[in-house]
């Protein structure tokens, strides 16, 4: 099981944690792109879950991370479908940058990916 612990990442800020956050996020994006992946949220810790990943941390941190990951996926989808210079791609890039900025502001963590202009 992939466990993304945003609280631990905030208290252990170093290059290794940044690399791990990037790796975890890439894995999560792979799950999001998979055809046979069910994304299930289980809010009851005592119940067993069949998910392959778990994101822990303060509510606002997890929410900011989830929005940034979703925005990353939407940007990548637009880039793949329309190309770099299409207005839809530009719109998704702007949304991604806003969500990444919010993630970095809320969590004090650096987003592990940068799009190239």
In-domain check, residue 17: yes
- The model's pTM is 0.66
Judge whether 86 lies within some domain: yes
Q: What is the pLDDT of residue 106?
A: 92
Q: Is residue 64 part of a domain?
A: yes
**Number of structural domains in the chain:** 1
Q: Which domain holds residue 7?
A: 2-107
> What's 2-48 look like in SS3?
EEEEHHHHHHCCCHHHHHHHHHHHHHHHHHHHCCCCCCCCCCCCCCC
Q: Is residue 116 part of a domain?
A: no
Q: Mapping DSSP to helix (H, G, I), strand (E, B) and coil, where does residue 69 land?
A: helix
Nearest C-alpha neighbor of 58 from the set 107, 112, 102: 107
The model's confidence at residue 14, banded by pLDDT at 50, 70 and 90, is: low
Residue 24 neighbours by CB distance under 10 Å: 20
For residue 40, give both structure tokens: 């299930």
Confidence of residue 114 (pLDDT cuts 50, 70, 90): confident
100 or 5, which is more confident?
A: 100
């Amino acid at each position: 099981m992939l466990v993304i612990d945003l609280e631990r990442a905030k208290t252990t800020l170093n290059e290794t944690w940044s690399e791990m956050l990037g790796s975890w996020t890439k894995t999560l994006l792979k799950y999001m792109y998979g055809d046979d992946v069910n994304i299930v949220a289980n809010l009851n810790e005592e119940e067993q879950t069949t998910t392959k990943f778990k994101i822990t941390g303060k509510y606002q941190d997890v929410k900011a991370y989830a929005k940034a990951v979703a925005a990353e996926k939407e940007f990548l989808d637009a880039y793949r479908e329309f190309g770099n210079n299409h207005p839809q791609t530009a719109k998704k890039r702007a949304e991604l940058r806003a969500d990444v900025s919010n993630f970095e502001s809320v969590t004090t963590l650096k987003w592990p990916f940068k799009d190239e202009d």
